A and B are shown apart, each in its own frame.
Chain A
C-alpha cells in the first residue's frame, strides 16, 4: 500500500494496526506524511519546524524495533509536537521571537515518553505565542490556517488556539495525531474548530517538566487526534507521574483505550444551565440538544445541574493566568539564551530584548499580571481570584456528587475568519468561556466533533469529568462519536488540495 491518501487518511489506531500487520512500513507511512506536509504546510503554516530527516531516521529505527518484536505503544507512528514542548537538539520556539534561536539540550518528559514508545516526530507545530491566544494569530511565525472552509467561501479561517498548528495538522491529515497543551481551552477549542477530538486531562496527569510554562497552575498537556480512540492511545503514552514535576500526581495510568466503546448505560450526565453564552449561535444550542439526545439514547440519565460560579470563570482566569505568566516569563531576558538586543546597561538590555522579543498579546498579559500582583492590588485581584477559583472547584465537586460527567458546548462559535476579533482582546477571550471553568478546577475536559453548522464548519461538544476519571470521558466521547458519525472532511487535506 503506498497511496498517500490512504496512508495519511487513516486513524492512528488503524496505522498502528497496519504497521503491526506489515501492510506498510513506518518509513512509508512517515514519507507519505512528509510529502503531505510539503504540499500543504506552505498554505496552512501548521508547522514551524519540520524535522523530515530526523523523522525518517526515527521511522527506520521504528521499523527495525518492530521487526525485533519490541514495538512500543506508538512504534512508527508519525505525529506532530506542539512547539511548546522542549525537544533535545530541535529548535523550540514557543512561537516567540525571543526563543526563535533556542535549541534545548533536553527533552520534555511528555515527548521523551512518546519517543520511548516509538513515536516518530514530524516536526514542531505552530501555536499562539507562549500559548497565549485562541486563534493562533499571535504567533511570531505567522498565522495558521484552518483546513476547513465555509461552504462556497474560500477565505481562510483560524484553527483556534493556542494549539492551532497541531489541530490544523491533524485535521488536514499531515500528522496522525499531535500533542497540545491546554491552559484555558487551548486543546479543546482548536479541536472543535478543526473537527477533531482533543482532551485536556486532569491537572497533574501529564508532567509539565520541559514544557515551556505559560500559567503553571493551569497548563496541562494532552493529545489532539481524529478519533476519541486515537486520543486514548496517545494520552496513555504522554501521561504519568514525574518526580521532576512537583505538581504531577502519582496515580496509575490506566489503559484509556479500554474505556473507548465501553457502555455508558446508566451514567448520569449533568447539563449545566450556565453554559449558554449571550449571543451564542442557535446552532450550537441545537447540537448541544442533539448531544443530550444521543447520550439519552445510549442509556444515560440526563440531569439538570447548576454551576453558579461559571460566570466568574473567565474573569478569574484572566487574573490568575496573566499573574503566573508575568512571573514565568521573567526568565526571558536575553541574558542566558534566546534573542538579545545589546544595550549599555542591564536594565536597557532587559527592556530592549523583551520589547523586541515579545508580541503584543504576551506583553498585554505580562502587564495585566504585573498589575494584579502589585502591592495595593493583590488582595482585590489575585487573592480574590484565588477565592473565586476555589468556589468554581466547589461547584464541580458538588455537581460530581450527583453526576458522572457534564456535557456542554466546547466553544461559543465555529471557526472565524483569519484576522477577525483581533481589535478587541476581550472578544477573543470570550472564546474560552466554556473551557476555562474546567481548567480553573483542574478537572479533565474533552472535545468531540459532532456536526457542521449551516456554513459547513465543524462544531464540538465538551465532556467534563471527575479528577483522574478520564476513562468515563473516553467512554462517553466514543458514544457521542459513534452516534454523531462525524465523517466530514476539511477542504484542505492530504491528497486533496482544494
Chain B
C-alpha cells in the first residue's frame, strides 16, 4: 500500500496536509447583507460594508455560523461554543478594509476527522485540526487593460470555511480521496456546493518528504489549487522536486508556491506583502461568538444522514453489496433515487437496475440523475411489473428503453405493445409442441442423450412466443412434455 518516491538514495515518504477553503452556501455574505451568489455583473453584489466605507460595521450572518457548525458536526468535530473573530491586516486593492476578518486563535470548530477509502479498499482516518470562518477577498483582474487593473468586489466578504487537516496523508491518492470525501460530506450537508470550477472549493497543499522514521522535514505550501486532479499532480511534482533538492545536497526552503498545470511544475510565488506580518488582533467591531449547546444540538438532530452511515444502512437494509452501496451514496441525489426505487421492493433488483440500466442510459443520453428521463417512481413501476409476473426481465429491458425515449410509464408501454407475459399453459404447450414438431431431428438427438438441447427448445419456444412467455413456465411445461412423450 505505502506510496514512496524512489530516489537515488532510496525510498522517500510523502507528508501531506491540506487547507481547504470551502465557500459557504448562504444567501448573504458573512458580515454584510449583500448577495453571495456566484456570477452577476462585476461589482453588482457589493454593499457599503464590503467596500469598507467609513463607519460601516460587520454583523455576523447567523446562517453562515449554522453552516460552519453543521460542517463541523459532519466532520465529527468539537464545536467551540465560544469563538472569536480576528483581523488579518494587509494592504491589497481587492481587500477594501485593509484587513480580512478571520478566526485566528479561537476557531468555531476544533479537531475532527474524515474517513477515506482508497481504490484498493484500504480505509484511513485523516485528522482535521480545525475549521474556521473567514471572509473571501475580491478579485483583481490584470489582463483587461495594458496599464490598469480592475477590481471586482462581488466575492469580497463571501463566507469561507477554512478546513485544516493534520499532516496525515501519505500519497497523492490519499489527498485526492480526502478532498473528494470532504466535498461529499459538505454536499450532503448542503454547506458547500463543492464546485471547484467556480472556485467554491480550493485547496492549499502542504507537502514535505522524508525518509521512513524521520521527523518532518521542511514543507512547501502550494496555494490555491482548484481541482482534485491538480491537487494530486501538484503533490507528486512538488515531492519529486524536493527529493531532487535533498538528494543533490541542497536544502528545501519553506515557501509558498504555485502549481502550473500546463507545465506540470510548481513555482515560487511572489508574496502579497514582502514581509508577512498580518498583525492579527481581535476585531473590536465584533463580540465573541457564543453558541448555545441547545442550538448546536438542534442542528445536530436536523443533520441529514451522511454518506458513510447511508452506505452501511443500504447494505444492511436492502441487502446490496458494499461496492454497489458505495456507488449509490457517492451522490446524495443518486442515493435518494435508489431509495425511492428500493423502498418496499427487492433492494438488490433495484440496485442492479439503478447501477446497471439507469447509469448506462444516463451516460448514453448525457443526463444526470436529477434530469433522468426515467423517474424513480417510474423505474419502481417497471420493477413492480417484473415482480408480479406481468413481464419478464428480458421484456423489461425493452420496456425500459422505451421509457428512456418517451418518458411513458412502464404499464402503459406494456399494454400498448401487448408485451404482457403469457402464463396460459395451453398456449405455452401448443407453442412447445409446434417447436418440437418442427425440429424432429433435434428431438431425436435429445432423446438419444444430448440433454443440452433442452435450452435450445426453451429458446425456440420463447422466440415463437415473441419473448412474452414466462420463462419458468416454459421450462416446467417443456420438461413435462418431453417426459410425457
Contact surface of A with B, Cβ cutoff 8 Å: 85-86, 92, 94, 99, 102, 104-106, 108, 208-213, 215-217, 243-247, 323-324, 326-327, 330-331, 333, 335-337, 346-347, 350, 370, 373-375, 378, 382
Q: How far is the CB of B273 from chain A (nearest CB, A)?
A: 9
Report the Cα distance A419→B280, complex, angstroms.
Answer: 37
Q: Is the CB of A373 within 8 A of B279?
A: yes
Q: Is the CB of A104 within 8 A of B54?
A: yes
Residues in A with CB closer than 8 Å to B60 are 246
Closest to B149 in A: A346
Residues in B with CB closer than 8 Å to A94 are 54
Knowing A246-B60, A378-B281, the reply to whether A331 touches B54 (Cβ < 8 A) is yes
Contact of A244 among B57, B91, B93, B279 (CB under 8 A): B57
Knowing A102-B54, A213-B54, A333-B91, the reply to whether A323 touches B98 (Cβ < 8 A) is no
Residues in B with CB closer than 8 Å to A211 are 55
Q: Which residues in chain B, 97-117, are within 8 Å of chain A measured between CB atoms?
A: 97-99
Contact of A86 among B51, B54, B87, B284 (CB under 8 A): B54
Closest to B282 in A: A386
The reply to whether the CB of B245 lies closer than 8 angstroms to some CB of chain A is no
Q: Is the CB of B54 within 8 A of A330?
A: no
Contact surface of B with A, Cβ cutoff 8 Å: 48, 51-60, 87, 89, 91-93, 96-99, 149, 151, 277, 279-281, 284-287
Q: Is the CB of B54 within 8 A of A327?
A: no
Q: How far is the CB of A459 from chain B (nearest CB, A)?
A: 33
Knowing A217-B284, A324-B284, A330-B89, the reply to whether A209 touches B57 (Cβ < 8 A) is yes
Closest to A332 in B: B54
Report the Cα distance A390→B56, complex, angstroms.
Answer: 27
| Total A-B Cβ pairs within 8 A | 97
Q: Is the CB of B99 within 8 A of A336?
A: no
Q: Is the CB of B277 within 8 A of A375?
A: yes
27 A-B interface contacts by CB (under 8 A): A86-B54, A92-B54, A94-B54, A99-B54, A104-B54, A105-B48, A210-B56, A243-B59, A245-B59, A246-B287, A324-B284, A327-B87, A327-B98, A327-B99, A327-B279, A330-B89, A331-B97, A335-B151, A336-B51, A336-B96, A337-B54, A347-B91, A350-B91, A373-B89, A373-B279, A374-B277, A375-B277
Contact of A104 among B53, B87, B89, B96 (CB under 8 A): B53
Q: Is the CB of B52 within 8 A of A336?
A: yes
Q: Is the CB of B99 within 8 A of A330?
A: yes
Q: How far is the CB of A268 from chain B (nearest CB, A)?
A: 32
Report the Cα distance A128→B284, complex, angstroms.
Answer: 22
Q: Is the CB of A244 within 8 A of B54?
A: no
Q: How far is the CB of A349 from chain B (nearest CB, A)?
A: 9
Closest to B33 in A: A244
Report the Cα distance A94→B55, complex, angstroms.
Answer: 11
Q: How far is the CB of B181 from chain A (nearest CB, A)?
A: 35
Q: Is the CB of A323 within 8 A of B281?
A: yes
Q: Is the CB of B57 within 8 A of A327?
A: no
Q: Is the CB of B59 within 8 A of A212?
A: no
Residues in A with CB closer than 8 Å to B99 are 327, 330
Knowing A327-B89, A350-B91, A373-B89, the reply to whether A244 touches B59 (Cβ < 8 A) is yes
Report the Cα distance A243→B33, complex, angstroms.
Answer: 12
Q: Is the CB of B54 within 8 A of A216?
A: no
Report the Cα distance A123→B94, complex, angstroms.
Answer: 35
Q: How far is the CB of A373 from chain B (nearest CB, A)?
A: 4
Q: Is the CB of A247 within 8 A of B54?
A: no
Residues in B with CB closer than 8 Å to A104 are 53-55
- Shortest 9 CB-CB contacts between residues of A and residues of B: A330-B98, A373-B279, A216-B284, A217-B284, A331-B52, A210-B55, A212-B54, A331-B97, A211-B55
Q: Is the CB of B98 within 8 A of A331?
A: yes
Q: How far is the CB of B291 from chain A (nearest CB, A)?
A: 15
Report the Cα distance A323→B281, complex, angstroms.
Answer: 9
Residues in B with CB closer than 8 Å to A102 are 54
